[in-house]
């Protein structure tokens, strides 16, 4: 089957908007329960461990299945994989608000994550068909890099508004509406993509990677409710570590590996993926820490807490728009390093001035939030270009899977490490230091 190229600039633009909306919605769905989580806990009578599991369920299957989702997109074609992922995502989003208990809600979130793991790499594979020229694809990736943070911001903002005005169950209407709209518009806007029947699925590698990442991620998630020395933490961590080591060994011996070892040997690509993981962690950590601080220490409502992040969203959008010309003029490496440094300064300000109950929002929280958003928008834009630079079309699904895996597993790993420090300010400061180190390394990379 041959690629059907999109012929007009207008159609390309509409296709990008559609794919961008889908990508943003995947991260919107990840963040959508963060603000209304206390409301869900009261409705179902949940303890902290149940809330942690509910919060993590979507991300566990999303992160664990991404590499396999990328292989499916490369093997069967991006549009076919995208359609399958959207169907699963839509079905789970329709079922979630109808669930009568926590068990079925967790199951719906796991199914949403599985659909998202197929959608994310497939969307990047289709994007490559929309912009077949390497130059045009690189420009598209500048904007694509900031879509996930935009989705996370929208999730935090809209979930509070929807929960306050309607119910937390209505937050699932957003992913359902986007998935159904995408399914309806795909035949008109998106080109077909090449399937490669000669490629193997590397099922042993997929199984090792999926179970290994999911097990290790679960072990890190439950450190919030169990000590590091407990069996509840150590067993899944050790199982995950052993399986991931076995995955690395198996990939070196596989004829057509799921994740070719040479893919990560490019130092600039490895640093770009690290920048994505750290930027995602800094933003996610800030949302969680400040949402809890504002609602618990300052007794703000969910609606008012969501409104506090509006300047973050404005700064993020502005940074994303400015990043394109800056990448074209100074190069993605410089923009990535500068963005990481700016985000680090924002986290430092928040850690130093913003977490006292009597500190002014305008003078304590706002400057750090704006700097974090501006830096994150720039670092994601530059790092997305570096992470996909030089990737052949037949590996686009792989690149999408790896990029999104860094975005999902980064916060999980770093959350567990920095929250072990015990104090919110120290957690923000430690993440800021990590971002500053990454900025230096990206600046020095050749």
Each of the 446 residues of the chain gets a pLDDT tens digit; together they read: 444 444 577 888 899 999 999 998 998 888 788 778 778 888 888 877 787 778 888 888 988 898 899 889 888 888 999 999 999 999 999 999 998 888 899 999 999 999 999 999 999 889 988 988 888 888 888 888 777 777 777 877 788 788 878 888 999 999 999 999 999 999 989 988 777 776 777 888 889 999 998 898 888 878 777 888 899 889 999 999 999 999 989 988 888 888 888 887 778 888 888 888 888 888 878 887 787 778 777 888 777 887 888 898 888 888 888 888 888 888 888 999 999 999 999 988 888 886 777 778 888 889 989 999 999 988 988 888 888 887 887 788 888 888 888 887 777 776 666 656 555 677 777 777 888 888 888 777 65
Query: What is d(CA 271, CA 264) in angstroms, rounded to the nearest whole number?
Result: 10
pLDDT score of 119: 95
What pTM value is reported for the model?
0.83
Are 117 and 58 a contacting pair, CB within 8 Å? no
What is the residue extent of each domain of the chain?
9-189+258-444, 203-257
And the tokens for 201?
């699925």
Query: What is d(CA 288, CA 431) in angstroms, rounded to the nearest whole number?
Result: 14
pLDDT score of 201: 77
Are 154 and 105 a contacting pair, CB within 8 Å? no
Q: Cβ neighbours of residue 357 under 8 Å, at least 6 residues apart?
A: 297, 298
CATH number of this structure's domain 9-189+258-444: 1.20.1250.20
**Virtual CA dihedral for 199, 200, 205, 209, nearest 10 degrees?**
60
pLDDT score of 167: 87
pLDDT score of 271: 86
CB atoms within 10 A of CB 444: 10
CB atoms within 10 A of CB 4: 12
pLDDT score of 36: 81
Query: What is d(CA 24, CA 154) in angstroms, rounded to the nearest whole number?
Result: 9
Of the candidates 21, 20, 126, the residue with the CA atom closest to the CA atom of residue 83:
126
Please report where in the chains the tokens 């052993």 appear, as a residue: 242
Query: What is d(CA 98, CA 187) in angstroms, rounded to the nearest whole number?
Result: 30
Query: What is d(CA 345, CA 367) in angstroms, rounded to the nearest whole number?
Result: 10
């Amino acid at each position: 089957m041959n690629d059907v190229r999109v012929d007009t600039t207008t159609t390309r633009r509409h296709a990008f908007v559609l794919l961008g909306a889908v990508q943003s919605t995947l991260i919107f769905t990840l963040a959508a329960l963060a603000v209304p989580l206390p409301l869900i806990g009261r409705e179902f009578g949940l303890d902290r461990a149940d809330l942690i599991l509910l919060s993590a369920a979507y991300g566990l299957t999303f992160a664990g299945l991404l590499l396999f989702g990328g292989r499916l997109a490369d093997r069967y074609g991006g549009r076919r994989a995208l359609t399958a992922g959207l169907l699963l995502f839509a079905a789970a989003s329709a079922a979630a608000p109808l669930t009568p208990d926590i068990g079925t809600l967790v199951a719906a979130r796991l199914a949403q994550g599985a659909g998202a793991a197929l959608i994310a790499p497939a969307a990047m594979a289709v994007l490559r068909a929309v912009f077949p020229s390497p130059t045009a694809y690189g420009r598209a990736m500048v904007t694509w890099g900031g879509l996930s943070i935009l989705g996370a911001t929208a999730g935090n903002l809209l979930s509070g508004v929807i929960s306050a005005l309607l119910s937390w169950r209505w937050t699932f209407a957003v992913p359902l509406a986007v998935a159904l709209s995408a399914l309806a518009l795909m035949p008109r806007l998106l080109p077909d993509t090449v399937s490669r029947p000669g490629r193997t699925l590397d099922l042993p590698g997929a199984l090792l990677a999926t179970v290994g990442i999911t097990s290790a991620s679960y072990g890190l998630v439950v450190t919030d409710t169990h000590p590091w020395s407990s069996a509840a933490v150590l067993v899944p961590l050790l199982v995950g570590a052993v399986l991931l080591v076995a995955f690395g060994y198996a990939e070196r011996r596989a004829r057509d590996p799921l994740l070719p070892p040479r893919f990560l040997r490019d130092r600039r690509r490895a640093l770009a993926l690290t920048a994505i993981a750290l930027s995602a962690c800094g933003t996610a950590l800030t949302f969680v820490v400040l949402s809890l601080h504002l609602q618990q220490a300052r007794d703000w409502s969910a609606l008012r807490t969501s409104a506090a992040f509006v300047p973050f969203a404005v700064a993020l959008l502005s940074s994303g728009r400015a990043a394109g010309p800056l990448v074209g003029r100074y190069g993605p490496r410089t923009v990535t390093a500068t963005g990481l440094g700016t985000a680090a300064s924002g986290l430092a300000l928040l850690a130093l001035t913003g977490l006292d109950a009597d500190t002014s929002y305008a003078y304590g929280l706002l400057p750090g939030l704006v700097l974090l958003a501006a830096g994150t928008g720039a670092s994601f834009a530059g790092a997305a270009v570096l992470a996909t630079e030089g990737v052949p079309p037949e590996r686009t699904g792989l690149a999408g899977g790896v990029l999104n895996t860094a975005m999902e597993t980064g916060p999980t790993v770093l959350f567990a490490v920095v929250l072990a420090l015990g104090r919110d300010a120290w957690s923000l400061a430690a993440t800021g230091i990590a971002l500053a180190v990454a900025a230096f390394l990206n600046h020095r990379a050749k």
